[in-house]
């Protein structure tokens, strides 16, 4: 896969201000997709803390898009707040493990 070309194509999408292939050691901001029947769920992660070691302070935003392209916000989660993960965290476990 040509990640440079993919990042350039992604930058052309409406609302996308920046993208580049992951070329650094460690982790950082990321997005994942999980298909749920005819719906698509997206989780956006903002990585923080010690990202060269894998980012240990992360914020997550989850959305579900149905076949009619209606976007539903599932919620927000910050792993540094000491609260349990939200219900969507379990439902989207396949997506989250790729972040």
| Tens digit of each residue's pLDDT (9 = 90 or more) over 8-47 | 988 898 888 888 876 666 778 899 999 999 999 999 999 9
Full residue range of the structural domain in which residue 47 is found: 25-96
* Number of compact structural domains in the chain: 1
**What percent of the chain stands above pLDDT 70?**
94
Q: How far apart are CA 91 and CA 95, in angstroms?
A: 9
On the question of pLDDT at 82 being above 80, the answer is yes
Inside any domain, residue 51: yes
- Burial tier of 95 (Cβ tally within 10 Å: 0-12, 13-18, 19+): buried
For residue 62, give both structure tokens: 């989850």
Q: What is the structure's pLDDT at 87?
A: 96
Inside any domain, residue 88: yes
């Amino acid at each position: 896969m040509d990640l440079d070309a993919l990042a350039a194509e992604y930058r052309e999408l409406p609302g996308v201000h920046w993208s580049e292939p992951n070329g650094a050691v460690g982790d950082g901001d990321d997005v994942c997709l999980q298909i749920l029947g005819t719906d698509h769920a997206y989780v956006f992660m903002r990585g923080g803390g010690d990202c060269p070691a894998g980012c240990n302070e992360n914020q997550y935003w989850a959305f579900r898009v149905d076949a009619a392209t209606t976007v539903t916000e599932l919620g927000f989660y910050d792993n540094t707040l000491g609260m349990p993960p939200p219900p969507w965290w379990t439902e989207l476990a396949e997506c989250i493990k790729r972040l």
